[in-house]
Structure 1
Amino acid sequence: MSSHDDGFDAPTTKIRGAEFDGSGFSPGGGFDQQTSVVSRPDDVDDVRDEQNRWHGGLDFGLLVLRVLVGGTMGAHGLQKLFGLFDGPGIGGFAQALDGFGYTSQTTLLAWITALAEVGGGALLVLGLFTPLGAAAILGVAANIVYAKYTLGGRFFTGENGLGFEYELLLGGAAFALLFTGAGRVSIDKNTPWRRKPLPYAILGLLLAGAASAVVILLFR
């Protein structure tokens, strides 16, 4: 009589839909690795992926950030272009640039700055070509910070009225949007620079730096 004819059946266990006898082998003979509990780490990875998954709150936060930064800079541009919101207009802004150390072609620079603010601000609000819009805003903010710093400005507004904390904040927000992208509540939703923003962020950063350098070299 064989060892299995003693009138007792080896206990069976079900693991993930497969039956195992007491020996640890499936009735068909041979260990079924796919149904073992070794797959448990995959469950842990799934939980971690769920915790780190992009969610709607991030999209809403990026929308708010884009609207605030883009809307603020766009309004400043409209002040310069058309004199809206008690702004100086192009002529008044060109004269103001003289006091910030820009002595060459100030009217041209006034147009460039105003268009960069309006255009870049509109792109950010819409979430359209976001790296380009953020680069435009970053370039303008960087030039303002540089101009105020060279005239003795400090972080907080002092007696000379040349604090640059406001422009630094706007530039920092534009810098952040370069690397985060517009989020899914945007026209850029299905574009490569929304899904993988890093290479486009680096390109936008180089563009903003080059534009700032050109303005400093040609107009001061």
Structure 2
Amino acid sequence: MFDDSAYSTAETSLIDEVEDKPAKDTTTRWHGGLDFGLLLLRLVLGGTMGAHGLQKLFGSFGGPGIDGFAGYLQQLGFTGQFTLLSWITALSEVVGGVLLVLGLFTPIGASALLGVTASIVYVKFSGGFFSAAGKGFEFELLLATVALAVLFTGSGRIALDVNTPWRRKPMPFAIFGLLIAAAASVLVLTLFR
């Protein structure tokens, strides 16, 4: 008969020599340039939009404050509730900017900034692409595009969001955030313009 004891001993010794290695988790792996680039995008977009929000809220950095911004909204063709819209815009810019700078709840911050900038692009669209006396929309289009890029790429590893589902798999959260930003823009433009 066949003696399988020698076979099983040889098989066991081969298996014993193989070391089990844990599977690499590529969602938390450092991506060097990518993570640093996302940090730069978040810092510049969040800082820029946050500063604009502070101009509107408190008149910081030579800004108009809530009442001055309400008057500017009237010049842009908005028809009512200027003070409410000023507060909504300013708070969206400040909160969204802070969230992006910290890399905390990045989809919410990017969505808030995307909603604001998309609305501004729509309002300024008839003034042409280039800024002539502040009527062009190229700057706001750039900000909206960066917000959209951050929304779809996530925060990167240099962020407080590093171990969250929306950083590891940003696409479902990005699509949801895009829908929220679009709905908010349409709502603001429909109700206030």
**TM class, shorter-chain normalised?**
0.7 to 0.9
Residue equivalent to 1:201: 174
Q: Matched residues in 1 for 2:51 and 2:62: separation?
A: 11
Q: Matched residues in 2 for 1:128 and 1:54: separation?
A: 18
Per-residue CA distance 1:64-104 (angstroms, 9 max, x = gap)? 11000000000000000000000000000001100111011
Provide the secondary structure at the position in 2 that maps to 1:64. helix
Residue equivalent to 1:73: 49
Q: Give 4+ residue runs of structure 1 displaced > 6 Å after superposition.
A: none
Pairing 1:91-170 to 2, within 5 Å after superposition: 91-149=67-125, 152-158=126-132, 161-170=134-143
Structure 2 letter corresponding to 1:183? G
Q: Give the CA deviation at 1:54.
A: 5.5
Higher relative contact order (CA 8 A, sep 6+): 2
Q: Give the CA deviation at 1:161.
A: 3.5
Where does structure 1 lack aligned partners over 5 or more consecutive residues? 1-27, 29-49
Provide the secondary structure at the position in 1 that maps to 2:62. coil
Q: Matched residues in 2 for 1:54 and 1:192: separation?
A: 17
8 Å contact from structure 2 (residues 119, 185) kept in 1: yes
Q: Give the CA deviation at 1:56.
A: 1.7
Measured on the aligned residues, the alpha-carbon RMSD in Å equals: 1.7
Question: Does residue 187 of structure 1 match 2:163?
Answer: no
8 Å contact from structure 2 (residues 30, 157) kept in 1: no
Structure 1 letter corresponding to 2:63? G
Q: Matched residues in 1 for 2:191 and 2:63: separation?
A: 26
Where does structure 2 lack aligned partners over 5 or more consecutive residues? 1-6, 8-25
Q: Matched residues in 2 for 1:191 and 1:90: separation?
A: 35
Per-residue CA distance 1:95-142 (angstroms, 9 max, x = gap)? 110011101101000000000000000000000000000000000001
Provide the secondary structure at the position in 2 that maps to 1:137. helix
Q: Quick check: which has more Rg, 1 or 2?
A: 1
Provide the secondary structure at the position in 1 that maps to 2:109. helix
Residue equivalent to 1:22: none
Q: Matched residues in 2 for 1:95 and 1:204: separation?
A: 30
Residue equivalent to 1:175: 148
Q: Matched residues in 1 for 2:77 and 2:52: separation?
A: 20
Q: Matched residues in 2 for 1:161 and 1:85: separation?
A: 18
Q: Matched residues in 1 for 2:95 and 2:62: separation?
A: 20
Structure 1 letter corresponding to 2:156? G
More helix by share: 2
Q: Matched residues in 2 for 1:192 and 1:141: separation?
A: 26
Identity %: 68
Q: Matched residues in 1 for 2:82 and 2:104: separation?
A: 30
Structure 1 letter corresponding to 2:183? A
Residue equivalent to 1:217: 190
Q: Give the CA deviation at 1:187.
A: 0.5
- 108-117 vs 160-169, which deviates more? 160-169
Q: Give the CA deviation at 1:58.
A: 1.1
Structure 2 letter corresponding to 1:105? Q
TM-score relative to the length of structure 1? 0.74
Structure 2 letter corresponding to 1:197? P
